[in-house]
Amino acid sequence: MSGHFEARLALLFASTILLGMCGTKQASNHAGSGGTVSSGGRIGSGGQTATGGQAGSSTPNSGGNSGATVETGGVRRDGGATGSGGAMVATGGQASGGQAAGGQGSGGKASSGAASSGGGAAGVTAPDAAITGGASGSGGAASDARAGTDAVLAGDAVGGGGVSTGGTSAKGGAAGTTATGGITGAGGKTTVLAAPGTTLVKVDANTKHQTFDGWGTSLAWWAYQIGGWSSSKRNQFLDVIVDPVAGLGYNVFRYNIGGGDAPGHNHMDANRQMPGFEASDGTWDWNADSRQTSVLTRLVSTGKNVIIEAFSNSPPYWMTKSGCASGSSDGSNNLKDDAYNNFADYLTEVTKHYRDVLGITFRTLEPLNEPNANWWKANGSQEGCHFSAANQQQIIKAVSASLTTKGIADTRISASDENSMDDAYSIIGGYDSATLAAMVQMNAHSYAGSKRTQLRALATSKGKRLWQSESGPLSVDLSSSTDSAIFMAGRIIQDLRELQPEAWIEWQVVDPSATWTSFTVSDSQESWTPVKRFYMQSGFTRYIRPGATFIDINNADMVAAMSADGLAVTIVVRNGDTAASKGFTFDLTSLPSLGTSVEAYRTSASEDLVHLPAATPQGWSFTATVPAYSVTTFVVPLRS
């Protein structure tokens, strides 16, 4: 046995010298896709073949001897990849051919009965076969690979990326865990380096965050306005709101259950004085809010995956202490102390009517809106009502009990829609167990506060869904629609990254302020024109759809999400610099597969979601330059 091994080793040494004299030669027909054969069988940092195999004659195979007796890298037939760990493509690809009888390596497959990358001749079992050079990486097993008796690794067989770190010498060829060194990583993917002049950005598809309910808007107060248009024009406009291809693609809508102000009160702004359904004498008028209801009905009938939440800004005026639906005289609690059950009954009766008569089910019912704010005062410009922390819990429990009494099991409670995320975190965090048990969802507005991550952690710890239920450029000095678009893109990205809400909802799509609205509209002409914010938001909403799961991306000005069907990853990039463009190299090695063309869309001062020339991935990455003051969307396909 010893003499036989020495003879084989001598032949191996001679073959190595012969190759060194003749130079390394590319296999024309017999080499697989694993790249060129190095003279010593070493893996270079760029991913050359590292199986430890040597070429026979003038047509070397990348995995072993083509016609000679010695086969150090695993027997390779008909050009197939061999060795536990397999041949690596120079660009990081996977070796072709070479079926595994036992255990798959990270970059290729172990050849049945073949030597494990540095083992002896096939067909002879060795008890102490050393697995080096091309040992299985990243969890692959080579349990059935065979090696020659007393096999010893030839001098240059170990490549820069070939040594296994998790068990190099084992009977039967136990696999290591992760290949070390070299450019080629587990799975045959090259390590991505930043192109000159660019910043490396890593997309991590293995780190998953929230699964998305979708995008949306409150219906207050624009729905009351648009609801006054002719039905044909109204419906045309609403179809733009829900269209996921040419419009905003919204699917989440918050219906405002108006309280209704006292007769003779005319202090609220246009379209803000929402009608109530119940009069002080206990009579109900279900046609009172026909305008907003006509908008809601159309959105529900034409939208896809539509989710409706109902919310209240104020109780009916006759339930309040001030007799005014905009607040109390001093901004304190305005609901009468003995009216909590009455108010709960009012909200749940509206909920029941819309379900039973109109066929519209509110998934959640929110009895509060910015309840901790102290600006809800009588004779104000809109409905509003302060609730202290204790009073918030009181109304939540009352609404929960009323839903149960009326058998409304398909509507649950959300709370508390504070203006500040910090208030939401501190106040909801102090709710008692009964209040929390009544809730399925936490709502917060991202106008103010910084405790996004803390609020996310609170919602997760309590097992509650979390929505960013209202936002806009409140108290921000913006001079143009473009300024608003760039600012709000930053707000969206920060919310999605840190707050990680299951839904992101803007205040309203139509607003008198140019920096708050997505459309300018003419009531007299019943016409509309999209503005810059429409195009910016569409860059998110058309390509990150309901059911998508957000994944990690290590840049604070970007967000990434995997589509519900797993066929695409969308990356949205904001460049808020007003003067300088930025270049990026996107590392996509965490993706399970990759298509051949990355679609791109951009909004800037001079572009309205323009479809750009596609980028072509190279070696599991692509590079892109985003101009100053722009928002760019990249859609990365996972299949060709």
Burial 627-636 (b: 16+ CB within 10 A, else e): bebbbbbbbb
Q: Are 95 and 107 in contact (CB under 8 A)?
A: yes
Q: What is the pLDDT of residue 76?
A: 34
Beta strand spans in 93-238 (E): 100-104, 109-111, 199-211, 214-218
Q: What is the pLDDT of residue 270?
A: 87
Q: Give the single-character DSSP code of 191.
A: P
Taking alpha carbons only, the member of 364, 372, 229, 252 closest to residue 305 is 252
Q: What is the pLDDT of residue 188?
A: 67
Percentages of the chain per state (helix, strand, coil), in multiples of 5: 20, 25, 55
| Residue that is written with structure tokens 């086969």 in the block | 71
Length of the chain: 640
- Region 213-470: CATH code: 3.20.20.80
| pTM over cut 0.85 | no
Q: What is the pLDDT of residue 283?
A: 98
- Strand pairing class (412-420; 439-448): parallel
Q: Are 518 and 533 in contact (CB under 8 A)?
A: yes
| Residue that is written with structure tokens 């409304």 in the block | 408
Q: What is the mean pLDDT of each run of 10 residues along the chain (640 residues)?
A: 42 38 37 36 36 37 36 36 34 36 36 36 34 35 35 33 36 34 54 97 98 98 97 98 98 98 94 96 98 98 97 98 98 98 98 98 98 98 98 98 98 98 98 98 98 98 98 97 98 98 98 97 98 98 98 98 98 98 98 97 98 96 98 96
Q: Are 146 and 114 in contact (CB under 8 A)?
A: yes
Tokens (6 digits) for 298: 């159309």
- What are φ and ψ of residue 469, in 5° steps? -95, -5
Angle between helices 421-428 and 452-461 (to 10 degrees): 30
Residue 22 CB neighbours (<10 A): 11
Taking alpha carbons only, the member of 344, 363, 387 closest to residue 465 is 363
- Homologous superfamily of the 199-209+552-637 domain (CATH): Golgi alpha-mannosidase II (2.60.40.1180)
Q: Are 128 and 172 in contact (CB under 8 A)?
A: no
Please tell me if the domain spanning 199-209+552-637 has the same topology as the one spanning 213-470.
no
Could you give the CA distance from residue 626 to residue 574 in angstroms, rounded to a whole number?
A: 8
Domain-by-domain residue ranges, the chain?
1-187, 199-209+552-637, 213-470
